[in-house]
Homo-oligomer: A and B are copies of this chain.
Amino acid sequence: MAPKPIAVEQERASKRRNQVLEAAARCFRLYGFHGSSMAQLAKEAGMSVGHIYHYFENKEAIIDAIVQKDLDEWLASIQHLLNSSNIFEDMLAQLDDPIRDWLDPDYAALQIEILAEAARNAKVVAIVRASHDKIRDTVGELLRKGSSRPLTQTEIDSKFDLIGALCDGLMVRAIHSGTLDRDNLLALLRPTIRFILEY
C-alpha cells in the first residue's frame, strides 16, 4: 500500500513527541529529572521504553526539550504587554495569574528542578541563559517604555533583577513555607513592585 502523506505523518510524530514531553513533565514534577526513570516516562506516556528513543536521542534531550518548552511559554506570556499603552498599570493589574503559578507547588517544583539541573549541567544552563537573556531584553523594553523618566541600562538591569528576584523568590517560598496567604502577600507585593518601577 502507498505510504501516507508526509504532513499526516509529521503531525502524528509531533503528537507522539508531545505525548512524551507531557508525560515527562508530570514525572519530573513528581520525582525530579534523575528520580524519574525512562521506564516511568514510558509508562506515563503509554509507550514502550525503546520507542521513546525514536523521538529523543536520550534522556538528556528530553530534559532539554522540557526546559526549552517551559521557558518559551514563559517568554510568550509576557509578549503581549509590549503592545500595552499603560504598561506598568497593566503589569500590576495582571499580577494575579503569574502569582498563582509561582505559588503552585507543582509548577514551582519543576522550576526548581530546572534550576538545580542548571547549576550543574552545562547544556541546561546554556538553554536557561539564552531564554533568560531574551526575557531580560523584553522586560527591559517594557521598563523603558513604561517609565516616566529616561533610565540608564544599569537602572533597567537592577529593576529587572529585583522584580525577577521577587518572582523567583515567591516560587521558592511556595516550596518551603507550609502555606502562603496569597491575598495578604499581594497586598504588599503590588506596592513594592510599584516602588521599584517608579524608583
Contacts and interface: CB of A to CB of B under 8 A. Distances in A.
Interface of A: 30-32, 34-35, 105, 108-109, 112-113, 115-116, 118-120, 125, 128-129, 132-133, 154-155, 157-159, 161-162, 164-173, 175-178, 180-181, 184-185, 187-189, 191-192, 195-196, 199
A199 B193 CA distance: 13
B176 A172 contact: no
Contacts of A199: 188, 191-192
A164 B158 contact: no
B119 A109 contact: yes
Nearest to A180: B161
A176 B109 contact: no
B119 A178 contact: no
B105 A176 contact: no
Contact of A115 (B34, B112, B165): B112
A121 B172 CA distance: 15
B175 A161 contact: no
A119 B31 CA distance: 9
B192 A196 contact: yes
Contacts of A164: 169, 173
Contacts of A162: 166, 185, 188-189, 192
Contacts of A109: 116, 119-120
Given A116-B116, A166-B166, A177 B192 contact: no
A64 to B, nearest CB: 15
A119 B105 contact: yes
Contacts of A132: 176-177
Contacts of A191: 195, 199
Contacts of A129: 176-178
